[in-house]
Chains A and B, each alone.
Chain A
Amino acid sequence: EPEVTQTPSHQVTQMGQEVILRCVPISNHLYFYWYRQILGQKVEFLVSFYNNEISEKSEIFDDQFSVERPDGSNFTLKIRSTKLEDSAMYFCASATGPDNEQFFGPGTRLTVL
């Protein structure tokens, strides 16, 4: 069964460093999402992406964040200058359409020291 994959599974970085989190959505999906989950809290929406542009973003997704689909398979989230409070699990999700089920990847645990 096709699934969303994410790399790395765990990323440790120093405050102020740039990180890139990678996702490979399900191959026939057209809508892509990033969510984050701070330890012990609920999952929060960051950004949605369709047709090579951002569809919507939350207030969390500030100028330090960017997303890109550099080729036909990868979908990346870049944090330009990480802060301690960026430590969280980051989940990629994909869907066939805007009203369809979103399938989540296993997540990347980001730890900012």
Chain B
Amino acid sequence: GQQLNQSPQSMFIQEGEDVSMNCTSSSIFNTWLWYKQDPGEGPVLLIALYKAGELTSNGRLTAQFGITRKDSFLNISASIPSDVGIYFCAGQSRETSGSRLTFGEGTQLTVNP
């Protein structure tokens, strides 16, 4: 099946710092999504990307859909304590795997005040 490699696995940063995480795959995806998950809760959608090369922002978050369609990154600027959580990338490839989402392993973000 399709695999997404997400890095880094964890990050420990100071409040106010910028953060970057990324996902790569050997397969092409048509859609990239970034979710945040707090402990004991469901993934919450942050940003959705639909076109290769697309750069989209949502407040302090910026994500890009790689031009090869095999990667995506998420940046968080000026981090705050409530940014703490696990961030997952997810890809969708309608041609090869229908509408299912394939998730990365997650990036655990810790923000020290």
Q: Residues on A close to B: CB < 8 A?
A: 4, 6, 31, 33, 35, 41-45, 48, 55-56, 58, 91, 93, 95, 98-99, 101-107, 109
CA distance A95 to B101 in the complex (A): 12
Asked if residues A98 and B99 are in contact (CB atoms below 8 Å), the reply is yes
> Given the complex of chains A and B, what is the CA–CA distance between A48 and B100 in angstroms?
7
Chain B proximity of A56: nearest CB distance (Å): 4
**Residues 24-48 of B at the A interface (beta carbon under 8 Å):** 30-31, 33, 35, 40-45, 48
Question: With a CB–CB cut-off of 8 A, which chain B residues contact A109?
Answer: 40
Q: Does B59 lie at the interface of the complex (its beta carbon under 8 Å from any beta carbon of A)?
A: no
A104/B44 contact (C-beta < 8 A), A43-B88, A99-B30, A99-B94 known: yes
Contact with A along B86-113 (1 / 0, CB 8 A): 0010101010011111111110000000
A-B contact count (CB 8 A): 64
Chain B residues at the A interface, C-beta cutoff of 8 Å: 30-31, 33, 35, 40-45, 48, 50, 88, 90, 92, 94, 97-106
* CA gap between A10 and B97 in the complex, in Å: 31
Q: Decide: A104 and B42 in contact? CB cutoff 8 A.
A: yes
Least distance between A53 CB and chain B CB atoms (Å): 13
* Minimum C-beta distance from A106 to chain B (A): 5
Q: Which residue of A lies closest to B97 (CB)?
A: A56
Q: How far is the CA of A45 from the CA of B42 in the complex (A)?
A: 14
A85 to B102, CA, bound (A): 21
